[in-house]
Amino acid sequence: MIKIRHIRTKLLLLLFASALLCLGLFHTLWANKWYVLHLVTETNLPISLPIPQLDENFWTMLGTEALNYDIPDSEADTEAVKKLQPLFDQLDDYTGLAIYGMEDGIYRAGQYPRCMDKEQFQSFFDIGYRLTDGVMEQQYERNTKFKNGYATVIVNFYHSSVFIFPYFLFSLFVSVGLFLLILLFFINRKMKQVVLLKQEILRMSAGDLSTPLVSSGVDEIGVLSRELDHLRLTLDQNIRQEQEAHQSNRELIAALSHDLRTPLTVLHGYLDILQLNRNPAMQSTYVDRCLQKTDDIRRLTDRMFEYALVYDASEPEQIRMISFSLSRLLELFREQMDFLELAGFHTELHFPDAGTSDIASPDALTIRVDTELCKRILNNLFSNILKYGSKQETVTLSMQLPPEINKDAALCLALKNTVKPEHSAVESNRIGLKSSTRNMERMGGKLVVFQTDTLFEVTLSFPVTAP
């Protein structure tokens, strides 16, 4: 099926087809005017129109009455013409009669239709006569015998003029009306599409980008509708991406800000110990740890500004994976456990027996981690212990080695502590746990939390490889 893609082409074709249809309709109506007149005047229709009728016995009456009158010798014979007046008086208002000499064809006498004496009918007839090319006038010519010989009688009937001109106007009105109706239907349809498109645009401007636009065909309005729908999809996608980017940026900054508080807390703890001079022999170690925490804080702040101001927030935070020995990982845990001891907690480490694994030594294992992310995870976990853990119970750290090294081998470290009674029912926003879980997944590991009203346990699983 051929689809017309331009409104102008559609309109031109519609005008051409409508003009042909309406001309054909007018021609059909006008060609059947006499049939319609017959239906109106000579059938028992349930309508009544004031159309004058010709006497059926007119020609008989004319032939009979003409035998009683003489033909005037000329139009100037006023006395003979006047004697014909009774014959003329028998004619109705819509009949005209003229008498001509049969041999010379010269006009002798006649009677103009009396309806023409009415100015209103005369004007009506003149207009209709020109528009209908004279079909309202019916003229007949007959040789009629008079008292003194034969003459040519020309009779003009105007009865149909009362019907023909109004019927002409009716046919013209119906044809033109149909043409305008088709044209207005087309324009109205296109205007509805424009109005609908306007409503769609207003809805889009109000913020509704989820509702698709209605298709409007293949012409210019349809193209505009489809392009606006593409624009709607693009705007909706861009807005969603921007919102997701802002959300990711907020979550990243929130996680970094939360991670930043943990080394500050540890740093503050070490500085308190140094100020109180509790363990002079360890002061140098504590100073080194303070310096290390300041480096951690500096790196965290650098990364926070880096991702907040420089990088696209929709891009994930970049990680730097390096090989990490198990002894180094345990050293990070021991450092955190030592700080718990200084804060008043009791700690305990459980390592696996040699018979539980084919691995001869923990140093035979390596893991790949991002050092900064690993420190942030441990800072978050031990910060939760400092905040919610009970000092009355022992904080335990246990390690489980994989039975053998393969692609599914994982090192599991479980950290368990008892929750303070006053914090057992407290709802936390869990920013630190969410951040730690996400960071473990990004490094290829896994973090599992088990929590009750009195117990909190977290298990870290790191994929391992042989060194």
Q: What is the pLDDT of residues 320-347, one digit of tens each?
A: 888 878 788 888 888 888 888 878 888 8
Residue 339 lies in a domain: yes
Residue 153: closest CA among 103, 107, 101, 98? 98
Is the pLDDT confidence value at 169 over 70?
yes
313: confidence class by pLDDT, cuts 50, 70, 90: very low
Q: What is the pTM of this model?
A: 0.51
What mean pLDDT value characterizes the chain? 81
Which of the listed residues 246, 268, 295 is the one where a domain comes to its end? Answer: 246
* 332 shares a domain with 456: yes
Residue 82 burial (C-beta neighbours within 10 Å; 0-12, 13-18, 19+): exposed
Co-location of 159 and 215 in the same domain: no
Q: Under DSSP, is residue 365 helix (H, G, I), strand (E, B) or coil?
A: coil
Whether 149 and 24 share a structural domain: yes
At 218, the amino acid letter reads V
Q: Is the pLDDT of residue 466 over 70?
A: no
> What is the DSSP secondary structure assignment for residue 389, as one 8-state letter?
B
Is residue 360 located within the same domain as residue 461?
Answer: yes
Tell me whether residue 276 is in a domain. Answer: no
Residue 162 has pLDDT above 90, yes or no: no
Kindly report, residue by residue over 119-135, the tens digit of the pLDDT.
Answer: 777 777 777 777 777 77
In percent, how much of the chain has pLDDT > 70?
86
Q: Is residue 45 predicted with pLDDT exceeding 80?
A: no
pLDDT value of position 154: 92
With a CB cutoff of 8 Å and minimum separation 6, the contacts of 240 are none
Residues of the chain above pLDDT 90, percent = 12
Query: Which range among 59-63, 277-281, 302-306 shows the weakest confidence by mean pLDDT?
Result: 302-306
**Mean pLDDT to the nearest integer, 56-82:** 87
**Any idea which residue has 């007119």 for tokens?**
58
Whether residue 371 sits in one domain with residue 235: no
Where does a domain end: 246, 262, 290? 246
pLDDT at 211: 83
User: Model confidence at 224, in pLDDT bands (50, 70, 90)?
Assistant: confident
pLDDT at 174: 94
pLDDT at residue number 358: 47
Q: Choose between 276 and 304: higher pLDDT.
A: 276
| Tally of CB atoms within 10 A around 195 | 10
pLDDT tops 80 at residue 309: no
Q: Mark whether 168 and 224 lie in a shared domain.
A: no
User: What pLDDT, on a 0 to 100 scale, did the predictor assign at position 362?
Assistant: 54
Q: Which H or E run contains 192?
A: helix 161-205
Work out the pLDDT band at 117, boundaries 50, 70, 90.
Answer: confident
Estimate the share of the chain in helix, then strand, then coil, as percent rounded to the nearest 5.
Answer: 55, 15, 25
Q: Tell me, what's the pLDDT at 310?
A: 46
Closest listed residue to residue 319, CA positions, set 368, 260, 383: 368
Asked whether the predicted pLDDT for residue 34 surpasses 60, the reply is yes
Q: Is 74 inside a domain boundary?
A: yes
- Strand runs labelled E in 307-409: 321-325, 346-350, 366-370, 394-400
Alpha carbons 107 and 126: distance in angstroms, whole number:
24
Q: Average pLDDT for residues 185-213, to the nearest whole number?
A: 87
Residue 115 has pLDDT above 60, yes or no: yes
**43 falls in which pLDDT band (50, 70, 90)?**
low
pLDDT score of 177 more than 60: yes
Q: Is the pLDDT of residue 268 over 50?
A: yes
Helix or strand or coil: residue 444? coil
User: Which CATH number covers residue 371?
Assistant: 3.30.565.10
Look at residue 349 and tell me whether its pLDDT is greater than 70: yes
pLDDT in tens, 351-387: 765 444 444 455 567 888 888 888 888 888 888 888 8
Contact between residue 309 and residue 354 where contact means Cβ atoms under 8 Å apart: no
Q: What DSSP assignment string belongs to 49-81?
A: -------TTHHHHHHHHHTTSPPPSSTT-HHHH
- Report if residue 277 sits inside a domain: no
Identify the pLDDT of residue 311.
46
Are 56 and 131 in a shared domain? Answer: yes
Determine, yes or no, domain membership for 165: yes
Residue 145 has pLDDT above 80, yes or no: yes
> Which among 170-184, 208-222, 397-411 has the top mean pLDDT?
170-184
Mean pLDDT (whole number) for 449-462 = 88
User: Do 229 and 330 fall into the same domain?
Assistant: no
CA distances, 305 to each of 102, 121, 257 (Å) = 124, 99, 11
Q: Is residue 312 part of a domain?
A: no
Q: Give me the domain span that covers residue 32.
A: 11-179
Asked if pLDDT for residue 168 goes beyond 70, the answer is yes
Whether 428 shows a pLDDT value over 60: the answer reads no
Chain-centre distance of CA 196, in angstroms?
Answer: 10
| Domain final residue, candidates 179, 200, 223 | 179
Please report the beta strands in 55-195, taking only residues with DSSP state E, as ranges in sequence order: 95-101, 107-111, 138-146, 149-157
Measure the CA–CA gap between 253 and 48, rounded to whole angstroms.
93
Reference 381, options 252, 250, 251, 259; nearest CA is: 259
Domain check: are 152 and 214 in the same one? no
Tell me what pLDDT residue 4 has.
65
Is 285 part of a structural domain of the chain?
A: no
Burial class (CB in 10 A: 0-12, 13-18, 19+), 335: middle
Over 60: is that where the pLDDT of 90 sits? yes
Q: How many domains does the chain have?
A: 3
Predicted pLDDT of residue 20: 95
> According to the model, what pLDDT value does residue 21 have?
94
Please check whether residue 107 lies inside any domain of the structure: yes
User: Do 368 and 237 share a structural domain?
Assistant: no
Question: Do 432 and 357 belong together in one domain?
Answer: yes
Q: Based on the fold, state whether residues 16 and 86 are members of the same structural domain.
A: yes
